[in-house]
């Protein structure tokens, strides 16, 4: 990245015409799907691999964008990623566009990856290089999500994500030694909640005075009004991490480029019903690819109101 940070792009390998470990080539004009996993997630996660395989089998080029430190990628600068930071994605989209100049680009993001994706699309506005996108299990309003994160059984999710963040941080702690300023490195290294990690490290890295200021500014619900490309949002009403009350329904309804599907159940990254249940791909995968195929085959984008 421009600040000497590092992200990892994972491409499918193999195929009948490939040597072992060699990238399988596609036609220059095959569509490209960029996948953004959730917080601490990466290309090894089951939900990511399911959609990747489906898109790959349908003739798409697919790449997983692993954020700094995720999927065992290295952290090479004293800065992780955040819900508010879109510059890494911006550089990745430009890079992929350079590799496939004759292809239309699309993206799909889960959870925090969905939040980052929607923020990026809103920031790009009419200049967005993506032809369409899908957001799944997006927390949308991070202030509300943080409030619900500390209620009842949700503490289990909070603790698990905090543990994953600590694990990533521990591997790269020397980069932050003696960094000074408002950083509380000890708090980040021993965080028992995502909020503690964000207070000790994330909000300081990105220039916020408080965690609440960071969550408010990073909420992708504020970006919906600026979305100028087709965007499908899929949410579950019982999602403990992306609360239904945080979904910007009115804003989505007012934007003719946006579509919203809310299922009565599904939890967070669940949706295990369908013909491949309970261990196969979630039922949302055919919906996602059907939507993206429709956009690709139509060859046109939906115009703003």
DSSP H helices, the chain, are 46-57, 87-99, 112-124, 142-149, 154-171, 185-189, 194-197, 203-205, 211-218, 249-254, 284-298
Question: Contact, 24 vs 55, CB < 8 A?
Answer: no
- Count of H-run helices and E-run strands, the chain: 11, 7
Neighbouring CB atoms inside 10 A of 73's CB total 18
With 0-12 CB in 10 A as exposed, 13-18 as middle and 19+ as buried, what is 58? middle
Helix 154-171 and helix 142-149: axis angle, to 10°?
110
- The one catalytic residue in 30, 148, 268, 285 is 268
List 198, 226, 239, 285, catalytic entry: 239
**Annotation says 239 is catalytic:** yes
Omega before residue 25 within 30° of 0, cis: no
Q: Torsion angle, CA of 42/7/92/9, rounded to 10 degrees? A: -50
**Has 98 been annotated as catalytic?**
no
Which residue among the candidates 111, 205, 221, 223 is catalytic per the annotation?
111
The answer to whether residue 50 is catalytic is: no
CA distance 99 to 110: 24
Tell me the backbone φ, ψ of residue 262, rounded to 5 degrees: -120, 115
Residues classed as catalytic: 111, 239, 268
């Amino acid at each position: 990245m421009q600040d000497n940070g590092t992200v990892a792009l994972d491409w499918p390998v193999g195929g009948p015409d490939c040597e072992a470990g060699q990238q399988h080539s596609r036609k220059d004009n095959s569509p490209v799907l960029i996948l953004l996993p959730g917080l601490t997630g990466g290309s090894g996660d089951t939900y990511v691999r399911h959609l990747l395989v489906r898109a790959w089998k349908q003739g798409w080029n697919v790449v997983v964008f692993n954020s700094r430190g995720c999927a065992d990628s290295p952290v090479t600068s004293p800065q992780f990623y955040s819900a508010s930071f879109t510059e890494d994605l911006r550089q990745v989209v430009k890079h992929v566009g350079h590799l496939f100049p004759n292809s239309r680009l699309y993206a799909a993001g889960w959870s925090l990856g969905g939040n980052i994706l929607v923020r990026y699309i809103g920031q790009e506005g009419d200049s967005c290089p993506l032809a369409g996108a899908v957001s799944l299990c997006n927390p949308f309003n991070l202030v509300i999500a943080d409030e619900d994160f500390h209620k009842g059984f949700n503490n289990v999710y909070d603790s698990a994500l905090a543990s994953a963040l600590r694990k990533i941080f521990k591997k790269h702690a020397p980069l932050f030694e003696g960094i000074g300023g408002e950083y509380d490195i000890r708090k980040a290294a021993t965080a028992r909640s995502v909020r503690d990690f964000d207070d000790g490290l994330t909000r300081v890295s990105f220039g916020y005075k408080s965690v609440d200021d960071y969550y408010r500014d990073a909420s992708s619900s504020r970006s919906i009004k600026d979305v100028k490309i087709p965007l499908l949002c899929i949410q579950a009403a019982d999602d403990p991490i992306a609360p239904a009350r945080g979904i910007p329904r009115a804003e989505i309804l007012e934007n003719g480029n946006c579509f919203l599907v809310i299922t009565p159940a599904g939890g967070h990254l669940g949706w295990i019903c369908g013909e491949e249940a309970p261990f196969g791909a979630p039922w949302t995968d055919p919906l996602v690819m059907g939507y993206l195929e429709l956009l690709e085959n139509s060859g046109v984008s939906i115009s703003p109101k």
